[in-house]
C-alpha cells in the first residue's frame, strides 16, 4: 500500500509541475505584491502628495542610475561625451521596442528623440508619466556623467509627436 501512495504523490507532483503550478503561484504572488504596492502608493499620494511625490521622484532617479550602471559596461561607455549620456537611455528604449534617434551631436550637447513613451503603463493614474520619465532618464544620464544638465523640450505625454532629451555638458 505504501508504494501505491508514493506513486500517486509523485504522479500528482509531476502533473502539477507539468501544469506550471509553482510558476503560476509565483506569478500570483508577484501580482499581489504589485497590487498592494500600487494601492499603497495611491493612498499615500491622495493623503500626503507633497511629501510622497519627492520620494517617488528620488526612487525613479535612483532606479535610472542603477539601470544605467548595469548597461554602461555592456555599452562600453566613455564618460566625456554628451552622446554617451544618451546611450543607456537609447538602449533602454530599444530593449522595450521603442524607436529612437540621436539627432544632433556636438562637443557640448547631444539630442535624443524617443517616438513612444516607455512609461505609459507605469503608475497610471497615480503619478504623471512625466514625473517617472524625467527623473528616471535624468538618473540614467547622471550615472554616466553627474555634471550634465538634462533638458526635455518635447514631451510625448504633453501631446508632442515625440519626447526629446537634450544633454548638455558645461565645459
Q: What is the pLDDT of residues 99-132, one digit of tens each?
A: 999 887 788 899 999 999 999 888 888 888 899 9
Q: What are the domain boundaries of the chain?
A: 2-168
Instruction: Give the pLDDT confidence of 57-104 residue by residue, as tens digits.
Output: 999 999 999 999 999 888 888 777 888 999 999 999 999 899 999 887
Q: Are 49 and 126 in contact (CB under 8 A)?
A: no
Does the domain formed by 2-168 have CATH 3.30.1380? yes
Q: What is the pLDDT of residue 135?
A: 96
Q: What is the mean pLDDT of residues 24-50?
A: 79
Instruction: Give the pLDDT confidence of 126-169 residue by residue, as tens digits.
Output: 888 899 999 999 999 999 999 999 999 888 887 878 889 999 98
Q: What is the pLDDT of residue 2?
A: 55
**Residue 30: which pLDDT band, with cuts at 50, 70 and 90?**
low
Give the chain's count of helices (H) and strands (E): 4, 4
The residues facing 167 across adjacent strands are 110, 150
Q: What is the pLDDT of residue 157?
A: 81
| 55 closest CA partner among 34, 35, 41, 70 | 41
DSSP state of 121: T
User: Is pLDDT of 17 > 80?
Assistant: no
Q: Which set of grid coordinates corresponds to residue 34?
A: 504589485
Amino acid at each position: 500500500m505504501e508504494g501505491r501512495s508514493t506513486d500517486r504523490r509523485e504522479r500528482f507532483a509531476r502533473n502539477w509541475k507539468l501544469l506550471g503550478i509553482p510558476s503560476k503561484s509565483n506569478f500570483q504572488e508577484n501580482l499581489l505584491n504589485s497590487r498592494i504596492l500600487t494601492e499603497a502608493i495611491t493612498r499615500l499620494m491622495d493623503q500626503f502628495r507633497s511629501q510622497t511625490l519627492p520620494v517617488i521622484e528620488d526612487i525613479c532617479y535612483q532606479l535610472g542610475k542603477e539601470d544605467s550602471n548595469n548597461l554602461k559596461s555592456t555599452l562600453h561607455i566613455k564618460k566625456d561625451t554628451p552622446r554617451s549620456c544618451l546611450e543607456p537611455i537609447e538602449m533602454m528604449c530599444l530593449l522595450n521596442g521603442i524607436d529612437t534617434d540621436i539627432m544632433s551631436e556636438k562637443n557640448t550637447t547631444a539630442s535624443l528623440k524617443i517616438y513612444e513613451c516607455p512609461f505609459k503603463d507605469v503608475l497610471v493614474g497615480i503619478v504623471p508619466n512625466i514625473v517617472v520619465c524625467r527623473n528616471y532618464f535624468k538618473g540614467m544620464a547622471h550615472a554616466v556623467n553627474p555634471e550634465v544638465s538634462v533638458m526635455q523640450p518635447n514631451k510625448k505625454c504633453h501631446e508632442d509627436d515625440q519626447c526629446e532629451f537634450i544633454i548638455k555638458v558645461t565645459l
